[in-house]
Amino acid sequence: MISSFDTLAEVAFARDLLRRWWGLELGLADPAALDGRGTVRLAAAVDALGASAVAAVIAALRTVKKPGIVDAGGGVLVIAAPVMGDKGIAGIVYATGARAGDVTAVPEGVTPSEASQLQAGLTALSPPELERARDLVVGAANAVERAQPAVIPPTTNVHPFTEIVGDAPAVRDVVKLLTKIVRSEATVLIHGESGTGKELIARAIHYHGPRAKKPFVVQNCSAFNDNLLESALFGHVRGAFTGAVKDQPGLFQVADGGTFFLDEIGDMSAALQVKLLRVLQEGTLMPVGGTKAIKVDVRIIAASHKDLAHMVQHKMFREDLFYRVNVLKITVPPLRERVADIPRLAQHFITKHWRSPGAPPKLSQGALSRLVAYPWPGNIRELENEMERMLVLAGDAQELTAGMISARVAGIVNGAQSAPRPLRDVLATSEAEVIVSALGRHLGDRAAAAADLDVSGPYLDARILSLGLDHVP
Ligand SMILES: Nc1ncnc2c1ncn2[C@@H]1O[C@H](COP(=O)(O)OP(=O)(O)O)[C@@H](O)[C@H]1O
Ligand SMILES: [Mg+2]
C-alpha cells in the first residue's frame, strides 16, 4: 500500500542518522503488519529475542495515534509517528533500539535473562536525544505521507459528455445546458479565458448532435490578417487577387452541413463582421472577388475570451452581430474558480497521456497539494501540459512526486521559503502583470492602457516588446 518508503530521500536520511548516532532501526508498519500479518523491521536486539519481544513492540505500535515515544514494556522505547491516509492511519513510521535509563521491569513474555540481554542491546537515550530522534522519525513519516498516492474523489457528475471532466457547479450548469443545446440548431457563444475548454465544449456540441457525421471546422479569427482571414473563411474566385489562380472554396463551404467553430470572434474586423452577419442572417456568403452568392448550411459556435457585450458598448463589436451570435451563451469558469476539480482533471490527463503498457503512475499527495495551490493562469491547458511534462520526467517510476513539478508551478507555494529569485525577475513579473491587466481593462487599446498607467504610448510599446508581451491582445 505504501510503496515509496524505502525510496524516499528523507527516509534514507533519517534512517542513516538514527543508525549512526544511536544504533536505532527505522521501520514502517502498515496495517497488515500491525495485525501481525506482515513483517516489521526492528533493531537487532529486539529481533534476536524472537516472538515475545516483537509482539510487545507491535502492541506498542498499535497504540500510536500521534507522534511520540511509547514504552513497550520493560523500558523498551518505541519512537513512532503515524502516517495519515484518507481513511485514518495508513501506517506507523517508528524507530526501535532505544531504552529508558535503568529499568528492572521485564516486557511481557520475556524471561528475566532475555530481558537483561535485551537491555544490553539497546541504547539508553537522554531526553534531548529522544527528542531529536523523534524529530527524525516525524520527518520520515511526513515524507511518506506526502509521497502517498493522492486520493482522487470519483465524480458524481454523470452525463453523456464523458470527455468533459468536472464536478464544479459551473461545469454542471454547462453540461445541463449542453443537453438542450445539442438538440437545437441555434448559434452558441462560449465565453471564457484561454485554455478553459471552449473548443472542447464546441466539439461536444457538434459530436453529440445531429450534425456529428458532417465536418467540424475550426478557425481562430485572431491568427490571420484581415485579407487572409476573409479568403480563408469565404473563399475566393480566380483572379480575385494576385496569386488567385483558381477558385478556392472557403471554410464555410468546407463546413457545409456541419458546424463551424469561430474562435476569438472578438478579434474579427468590422468588415468581416458584416460578412459573417450575412451568413447568419441569410445563409449566404460572397467569395472574395465573387459576384454570385453561395448558399451554405452551417451551425456556428463562436468563442471569445473578451466580453463581447462590453465591446458592443464601446463600438468595437457590431451590436446586430452580437445579438445573432449570443443566442445561447455558455460561460466557462477559469480553473482557479474550480480548484476542487484539479485532482480529477490531473488524473484524467495522466490517463489520457499515458502511452506505455501497464497502469499509469499514481499522483502523490504531495504533488497534488502543489497542483492545487497554483493559480493556473493558463487554465486547463496549462494543467494538461504540466501533467504531460511530469509523465515524461517520471519515466517508469510508479509515482508522480512533488519533485517532478516544474519550478514555475511548484515555486509559488512557499512564497517566502522558495528559492531566492533575482530581483529583476520579480520586477519584470510584476510589471508584466500590471501591463497585461491594463491592456485587459482597455480591451487591448494600448493608447488607453498607456494613459491609465501614466506612461507614454511609445514607452509602453517598448516595455511590451521587452517583456515579450507582444502576443497579448
Ligand atoms: N473539462 C475538461 N475536461 C477534460 N479536458 C479538458 C476540459 N477542459 C479543457 N480540457 C482540455 O484542455 C485543453 C485546452 O482546452 P481548449 O478547449 O482548447 O480550451 P480553449 O478553447 O478555451 O482555449 C484541451 O486539451 C482540452 O481537451
Ligand atoms: Mg482555444
Interval 186-193 mean pLDDT: 96
Q: What is the pLDDT of residue 413?
A: 40
Phi, psi of 82 (to 5 degrees): -75, 150
Helix or strand holding residue 103 (H, E): none
Q: Is the shortest distance between the CB of 200 and ligand 1 below 6 Å?
A: yes
**Dihedral through CA 11, CA 25, CA 76, CA 65, nearest 10?**
20
Which of 380, 383, 386, 387 has most ligand 1 atoms within 8 Å of CB, for mutation? Answer: 380
**Residue 224: is its pLDDT beyond 80?**
no
pLDDT tens-digit map of 132-173 = 999 999 999 988 888 888 888 788 888 899 999 999 999 999
| Ligand 1 atom showing the smallest separation from residue 196 Cα | 22
Query: Rounded CA gap, 90 and 73, in Å?
Result: 25
**What nine digits make up the cell of 340?**
476542487
Interval 78-97 mean pLDDT: 89
**Domain boundaries along the sequence of the chain:** 5-147, 169-331, 339-411, 423-466
Q: Is the shortest distance between the CB of 384 and ligand 1 below 6 Å?
A: yes
**Residue 416: is its pLDDT beyond 50?**
no
Interval 191-220 mean pLDDT: 96
Beta carbons within 8 Å of 368's beta carbon, 6+ residues apart: 150, 342, 343, 346
Tell which phi-psi region holds residue 109, choosing left (phi > 0), alpha (psi between -120 and 50) or beta. Answer: left
200 contacts 349 by C-beta, under 8 angstroms: no
C-alpha 445 to ligand 1 mean position (Å): 28
Q: Closest Cα to atom 23, ligand 1: which residue? A: 195
**Residue 418: is its pLDDT beyond 50?**
no
What CATH number matches the domain at 169-331, 3.40.50.720, 3.40.50.300, 3.40.50.920, 3.40.50.1460? Answer: 3.40.50.300
| Range of lowest pLDDT (35-49, 77-91, 96-110, 440-454) | 96-110
**Residue 272: is its pLDDT beyond 90?**
yes
Say which residue the cell 441555434 belongs to: 186
| Ligand 1 atom showing the smallest separation from residue 332 Cα | 22
Interval 229-237 mean pLDDT: 95
| Range of lowest pLDDT (59-68, 144-153, 216-225, 370-379) | 144-153
Confidence class for position 210, pLDDT limits 50, 70, 90: very high
Interval 17-35 mean pLDDT: 91
Interval 92-107 mean pLDDT: 84
Select from 332, 345, 350 the least CA-distant residue to 374.
345
**Residue 48: is its pLDDT beyond 70?**
yes
Within 10 angstroms of residue 2's Cβ, the number of other Cβ atoms is 19
Q: Is the shortest distance between the CB of 334 and ligand 1 below 6 Å?
A: no
Interval 313-318 mean pLDDT: 95
Q: Is the shortest distance between the CB of 192 and ligand 1 below 6 Å?
A: yes
pLDDT tens-digit map of 372-384 = 888 999 999 999 9
**CATH classification code of 339-411:** 1.10.8.60
CB-side exposure of 256: number of CA atoms within 13 Å? 11
Interval 358-379 mean pLDDT: 90
C-alpha 275 to ligand 1 mean position (Å): 29
Query: Rounded CA gap, 337 and 415, in Å?
Result: 21
Give the single-character DSSP code of 160: S
Select from 93, 92, 103, 100 the least CA-distant residue to 130.
100
Q: Whole-prediction pTM value?
A: 0.74
More confident residue, 465 or 249: 249
Q: Is the shortest distance between the CB of 305 and ligand 1 below 6 Å?
A: no
Beta carbons within 8 Å of 43's beta carbon, 6+ residues apart: 23, 24, 25, 96, 97, 121, 122
| Ligand 1 atom showing the smallest separation from residue 190 Cα | 22
- The reply to whether 5-147 and 169-331 are identical in fold is no
Q: Is the shortest distance between the CB of 348 and ligand 1 below 6 Å?
A: yes
Q: Is the shortest distance between the CB of 203 and ligand 1 below 6 Å?
A: no
Q: Is the shortest distance between the CB of 165 and ligand 1 below 6 Å?
A: yes
Confidence class for position 473, pLDDT limits 50, 70, 90: very low
Q: Is the shortest distance between the CB of 198 and ligand 1 below 6 Å?
A: yes
Round the average pLDDT of the chain to a whole number and report it. 88
Q: Are strands 399-400 and 362-363 parallel, antiparallel or unpaired?
A: parallel
| Range of lowest pLDDT (183-192, 409-418, 424-433) | 409-418
336 contacts 374 by C-beta, under 8 angstroms: no
C-alpha 383 to ligand 1 mean position (Å): 10
Q: Is the shortest distance between the CB of 193 and ligand 1 below 6 Å?
A: no
Say which residue the cell 487572409 belongs to: 228
C-alpha 251 to ligand 2 mean position (Å): 18
Q: Is the shortest distance between the CB of 342 and ligand 1 below 6 Å?
A: no
Determine what percent of the chain is predicted with pLDDT higher than 90. 55
Select from 303, 323, 319 the least CA-distant residue to 311.
319
Q: What is the pLDDT of residue 422?
A: 60
Q: What is the pLDDT of residue 424?
A: 65
Interval 259-275 mean pLDDT: 95
Interval 97-106 mean pLDDT: 79
Interval 283-305 mean pLDDT: 95
More confident residue, 102 or 451: 451
What CATH number matches the domain at 5-147, 1.10.1660, 1.10.730, 3.30.450, 3.30.70? Answer: 3.30.450
C-alpha 413 to ligand 2 mean position (Å): 28
Q: Closest Cα to atom 27, ligand 1: which residue? A: 200
Q: What is the pLDDT of residue 437?
A: 76
| Ligand 1 atom showing the smallest separation from residue 171 Cα | 1
Q: What is the pLDDT of residue 354?
A: 94
**Residue 464: is its pLDDT beyond 60?**
yes
Residue type, 139: G
**What nine digits make up the cell of 87?**
481513511
**Dihedral through CA 393, CA 398, CA 403, CA 408, nearest 10?**
50
State the ligand closest to the CA atom of 379.
Answer: 1
